[in-house]
Amino acid sequence: MAATIFLIVISAVFSQNFILVKFLGICPFLGVSKKTNSALSMGIAVTLVMLLATLVTYPLYTYIMVPLKIEYLEIIFFIFVIAALVQMLEKIIEKISPALYRSMGIYLPLITTNCAILGVAELLLVNDVSEIVSGVAAGINMNLGFALLYALCSGLGFTLAMLLMGGVREKLEKLPVAKCMKGFPITMVAACFMAMAFYVFALL
Amino acid sequence: MNAKKYGKIAYDGLVTNNATFKLVLGTCSTLAMSTSAVNSFGMGLSVTVVLLLSNVIISLLRKIIPNTVRIPAFVVIIATMVTLLRMVLDKYIPDLYDSMGVFLPLIVVNCVILGRAEAFASKRPVIDSAIDGVATGLGLTFALTFIGIIREFLGSGSFFGIQVTDFRIGFFTNAAGAFFVYGICIALFVFVANKAEQARRVKKMRVLRKPAAIGPLPPVTESSEREDG
């Protein structure tokens, strides 16, 4: 049990990092990582929505869609749940804390089309934990607790990658870069080196 | 007249506003699916099909969908198309279905599709939107296949699955290589586009200058040329 939890945490945060290894959520990774502050806000917002979305979509799929035999509608259901959640969260944050809303508000609508959220909801639709986390002994059934833990750690891994990239890009702005390499290309090359660093975790 | 307009829409989608290299949209699937040329070609065509269908339907419904709920409406239409595509692929091309894995349902959140729906299909007539969908999709397919060919050749020494050499660099098949090749490809595209733009500007200058040189106002040209010298 403890070993499974440990492996899920390590795998979701480092060795199977959503951005740098699985290529999910690259758009915000490239778009909102110019400053460390905005990268952190985006990371927290994504983690929150990921957790909430899993809390709704996993039971929805397991306890409603499977018994009714409407699994084939999962994409439509999930995207609707995520869009509704994001809208709701936006309104709640606006009411509770206007300051937080101002700093985070513009990123929230973007999260609907963030593939990391739909990706985590889709990835979790397995019967066995070992299918998504390598190293776990086969035969451990997926349940809501593991699903939530996986979602939380994926979100943390996402935030970590965003933060690192934000730091790298703040420095990158000041460097003299060839004209055609400015902007996306140099960011991609920086991401390449970060991905190499994270690849080492997968080898451990 | 019409042919010229359609040609421009197609050229914009294919080259000028190339989704992968110019706009840098839909990056997740580009990076993940370009491990081999066949996979990236399959992914590109799948996106093209969804793009064409969603563009046509959204364009047909553009006067019915209220402006305030257009994004949820677009997303539901796109999700329906992806669900259909998923069923078809599962039945007829199971190999591609398996290799695409989680990235097949993720076509729904591919920014290219929602982007074209919002920027083009929701404002233009059906035929324009259909051409735009196909052109954008093919532009993306070419770009993806280009990256796929490079990564497959360097990473596993094969070309569309046919083994060419034994020489291989594992770096190119894993995540880091994807970022690297994609970055270099964008830089190359920007470089070529800049050069073409420069050439066009020089040509334009020559065309503008020519009538002046042999035109009815020789003194002006002379003075300006003297200033240059």
Chain A environment of B85 (Cβ under 8 Å): none
Give the model's pLDDT for residue B221.
43
Distance in angstroms (rounded) separating the CA atoms of residues B123 and B67:
11
pLDDT for residue B89 is more than 70: yes
- The DSSP letter of residue B159 is E
User: CB of A168 within 8 Å of any CB in chain B?
Assistant: no
Q: Which residue has the higher pLDDT, B208 or B145?
A: B145
Are the C-beta atoms of B133 and B10 separated by less than 8 Å?
Answer: no
By C-alpha distance, the chain A residue nearest B101 is A123
State whether residue A73 sits within 8 Å of chain B by CB.
yes
CB contact under 8 A, A30 and B111: no
pLDDT tens for each residue of B147-162: 999 999 998 888 888 8
CB proximity A24 to B under 8 Å: yes
Residue A192 contacts B, CB cutoff 8 Å: yes
Mean pLDDT across B58-72? 88
Half-sphere exposure (CA, 13 Å, Cβ side) for A177?
Answer: 17
B-chain CB neighbours of A30 within 8 Å are 24, 27
Q: How far is the C-alpha of A15 from the C-alpha of A11, rounded, in Å?
A: 5
Distance separating alpha carbons of residues A144 and A152, to the nearest angstrom? 12
* A192 band by pLDDT with thresholds 50, 70 and 90: very high
Calculated CA dihedral for residues A154, A155, A159, A165, nearest 10 degrees: 50
Q: Span A139-152, mean pLDDT?
A: 88
Is B77 domain-assigned?
Answer: yes
Residues A147, A153: Cα–Cα separation, whole Å? 10
By C-alpha distance, which of A1, A173, A77, A200 is closest to B175? A200
B152 touches B135 (CB < 8 A):
no
- Asked whether the beta carbons of B75 and A79 are under 8 A apart, the reply is yes
* CB–CB contact B76 A80 (8 Å): yes
B115 in a domain, yes or no? Answer: yes
Q: For residue B33, give its domain range.
A: 2-148
Q: What is the pLDDT of residues A178-188, one digit of tens each?
A: 888 888 889 99
pLDDT at A105: 62
Residue B102 included in any domain: yes
Burial class (CB in 10 A: 0-12, 13-18, 19+), B229: exposed
Which among B5, B110, B120 has a CA at the least distance from the CA of B47?
B110
Q: DSSP character for A128?
A: B
Count: domains in chain B: 1
pLDDT at residue number A135: 74
Q: Which residues, in sequence order, are CB contacts of B19 under 8 Å at separation 6+?
A: B25, B26, B112, B115, B136, B139, B140, B143
B174 CB neighbours in chain A (<8 A) are: 195, 199
CA of B63: how far to CAs of A23, A31, A102, A196, B112, in Å?
37, 32, 34, 49, 22
Q: Is A126 on the interface with B (CB under 8 A)?
A: no
Number of CB atoms found within 10 A of residue A38's CB: 19
Predicted confidence (pLDDT) per residue in A91-116, tens digit: 888 888 887 787 766 677 778 878 88
Cβ-based contacts under 8 A for chains A and B: 116
pLDDT grade for B211, boundaries at 50, 70 and 90: low
User: Which residues on B lie below 8 Å from A181 (Cβ)?
Assistant: 187
Model pLDDT for residues A118-142, shown as the tens digit of each residue: 989 988 888 888 888 877 777 788 8
Q: A77 or B166: which carries more pLDDT confidence?
A: A77
Mean pLDDT, residues A76-84 taken together? 89
Tokens of A24: 């999910």
List pLDDT tens digits, range A18-65. Answer: 888 888 888 888 888 888 888 888 888 889 899 999 999 999 998 998
Is the confidence at residue A89, as pLDDT, over 50?
yes
Q: Verify whether the Cβ–Cβ distance A80 to B72 is below 8 Å.
A: yes
Test the B interface: residue of A18, A21, A26 with most B CBs within 10 Å: A26
* pLDDT-above-90 percentage for chain B: 36
Contacts of B194 in chain A (CB under 8 A): 179-180
Contact across the interface for B106 and A80, Cβ inside 8 Å: no
Q: Higher-confidence residue: B48 or B228?
A: B48
Is residue B163 situated within a structural domain?
no
pLDDT category of residue B134 using cuts at 50, 70 and 90: very high
Domain contains B133: yes
Tell me if B180 is assigned to some domain.
no
Tell if the CB–CB gap between A26 and B72 is shorter than 8 Å: no
Q: Count CB neighbours of A137 within 10 A.
A: 11
C-alpha closest to that of A94 among A79, A111, A82, A106: A106
Interchain proximity A79–B188, CB inside 8 Å: no
Instruction: Classify each residue of A147-164 as buried b or exposed e, where b means 16 or more C-beta atoms within 10 Å of its C-beta.
Output: bbbbbbbbbbbbbbbbbb
Query: From CA B121, how far away is CA B127, in angstroms rounded?
Result: 10
**What interface predicted TM-score (ipTM) does this complex get?**
0.86
Question: What is the mean pLDDT of the segment spanning B78-86?
Answer: 93
CB pair distance less than 8 Å for B111 and A113 = yes
pTM here?
Answer: 0.84
pLDDT at position B72 over 50: yes
| pLDDT score, position B222 | 43
A196 touches B at CB < 8 Å = yes
